[in-house]
Amino acid sequence: MDLYCAYFPPTKELQLWGQQSNHPLQANTNTLPRLMDQIHEVCRRRHLSKRTEEAYCFWIRQFIYHFNKRHPRELREGDVAQFLNHLAVQRL
């Protein structure tokens, strides 16, 4: 199971990271919202503060850049552990 989806389970309105959506605004298009737009929607739906949303986006970007801009959909649990190790050991 995807770690992000474990904390933010997909809903009927928003399917995360490449899954098909039944959202009425997306019915006419074949493209899904960008990852950060999805994060924004989830944060708004959960009534998180703007600063919390900014912090989430910052760390998600750090995670993506750490793996040379690979989409989180392509990464596995071992990659998460590697990133956390990097933060704990190498980053000061």
What dihedral do alpha carbons 47, 48, 51, 53 form, nearest 10°? Answer: -110
The distance of Cα 85 from the centroid of its chain, to the nearest Å, equals: 20
pLDDT digit string, tens, across residues 14-31: 455 555 555 555 555 568
pLDDT digit string, tens, across residues 63-86: 999 999 998 888 899 999 999 999
**CATH code for the domain defined by 33-92:** 1.10.150.130
**Domain boundaries defined on the chain:** 33-92
Rounded to the nearest 10 degrees, the angle between the axes of helix 35-45 and helix 50-66 is 150
pTM value is 0.62
Q: From CA 62, how far away is CA 14, in angstroms rounded?
A: 24
